[in-house]
Amino acid sequence: MLFYDTKSYDKTNFDLLKRSFAVDITYVGVELNEQTAAMAKGYEVVCAFVNATINRDVIDQLVAGGTKLLAMRCAGYNNVDIKETCGKLRVVRVPAYSPYAVAEHAMALLLTLVRKTNHAYVRTREFNFSLVGLVGFDLHGKTIGVIGTGKIGSVFIDICNGFGMRVLAYDAYPKTEIKAEYVTLDELLRQSDIISLHCPLTPETTHLINAERIKEMKTGAIIINTSRGALVDSQALLEALRSKKLGGAALDVYEEERNLFYNDNSTKIMEDETLALLISMPNVLVTSHQAFLTNDALENIAKVTLQNIKDWREGKELVNEVCVDCKSQGTPLKHSEK
């Protein structure tokens, strides 16, 4: 297997398990994209992550080099042109490795934002013990709207209930066992003090939070996005924060995060002005797509990815396959969409 975009924490977990699954791994630091796909020549399996570019060109290069299986070590697969892989390359993913990791990070972001502990931390390091400007608000009794009530959304709902919040939910495919009140998207936008996004990025959900929808929200509402950056129109978000229509935003993901997140850019000029302005705001918190980053989740990612590869090698059913014909995974495409 050729393992793209390797970080030390990936290598630790895959190295611990690779022998028991009999998988040989070559690790490379570069991201999978049009320029690097040729490196996979001769590798039957390629492993990639959330910010790889896996379009027609990349898929054709992989297939020409002999690759047969694309093992995504993540849940989301919006960066893979699934229709294009049909009949060329099989694709597997890790649908659930720790919904707790992501849901807990969403709550960590929310608590940091509303209690300003990020600012307090910086102040006390310089022996500034003033409290002026650090007034927050109670989460207890506030209304939170959760968009997407799947694995992560439902864990997040449980956490919010533990805080004594009123929880509203919206999902295109509502479930029965959710401990929240399902409402329409419009109702959720109108009533929520805080909105947290937990749905996948699809053509329907791209810019789900845009200027029009922000107008419907309460003045001072807060947005938490730990799902995918392009669910939020960043320019509209910036304008709404500037005009004080929104009270804050916590973003673990950003629509233009590719080539920025997961890299140290501290010695470079930040060319993305929208991101630079967002980060400069005192009521915006950005983490670099790290909601998944717990030991528990990394271990599960390695285990499930290697099991997916073993199952493929042994000709077994691929329970975590994503393809146009799959009925069970994520938001399947239909034959008619091919």
- Residues at the interface with ligand NAD (CB under 6 A): 75-76, 96, 99, 102, 147-153, 170-173, 198-202, 204-205, 226-228, 252-253, 289, 291-292, 330-331
In order of 92, 164, 232, 267, the CA distances from 193 in angstroms are: 38, 14, 17, 37
Q: Which two tokens stand for residue 223?
A: 């947005």
Shortest spacing between CB 167 and ligand NAD, in angstroms:
15
State which residue, 37 or 304, has the beta carbon closest to ligand NAD.
Answer: 304
State which residue, 4 or 170, has the beta carbon closest to ligand NAD.
Answer: 170
Alpha-carbon distance 305 to 21, whole Å? Answer: 10
Closest residue to ligand NAD, Cβ-based?
A: 150
As separate numbers, helices (DSSP H) first and strands (DSSP E) second, the chain gives 11, 12
Q: Annotated catalytic, 257?
A: yes
Shortest spacing between CB 101 and ligand NAD, in angstroms:
7
Alpha-carbon distance 260 to 256, whole Å? Answer: 8
Q: Annotated catalytic, 228?
A: yes
Shortest spacing between CB 176 and ligand NAD, in angstroms:
12
Spell out the alpha helix ranges (H) of the chain: 8-17, 56-64, 82-85, 99-115, 117-125, 151-162, 185-191, 211-216, 234-242, 273-280, 295-313
Shortest spacing between CB 121 and ligand NAD, in angstroms:
22
Q: Which residue among the candidates 228, 239, 256, 314 is catalytic per the annotation? A: 228
Q: Which residue among the candidates 31, 105, 289, 321 is catalytic per the annotation? A: 289
State which residue, 171 or 193, has the beta carbon closest to ligand NAD.
Answer: 171
Single-letter amino acid, residue 16? L
Cβ–Cβ < 8 Å for 61, 38: yes
Q: Which two tokens stand for residue 51?
A: 């910010």
Strands 246-251 and 221-225, how do they pair? parallel
Spell out the alpha helix ranges (H) of 133-252: 151-162, 185-191, 211-216, 234-242
State which residue, 226 or 300, has the beta carbon closest to ligand NAD.
Answer: 226
State which residue, 140 or 327, has the beta carbon closest to ligand NAD.
Answer: 327
Residue with tokens 């670099």: 288
Shortest spacing between CB 251 and ligand NAD, in angstroms:
10
State which residue, 45 or 188, has the beta carbon closest to ligand NAD.
Answer: 188
Shortest spacing between CB 170 and ligand NAD, in angstroms:
6
Alpha-carbon distance 5 to 28, whole Å? Answer: 6
Which residues are catalytically annotated? Answer: 228, 257, 289
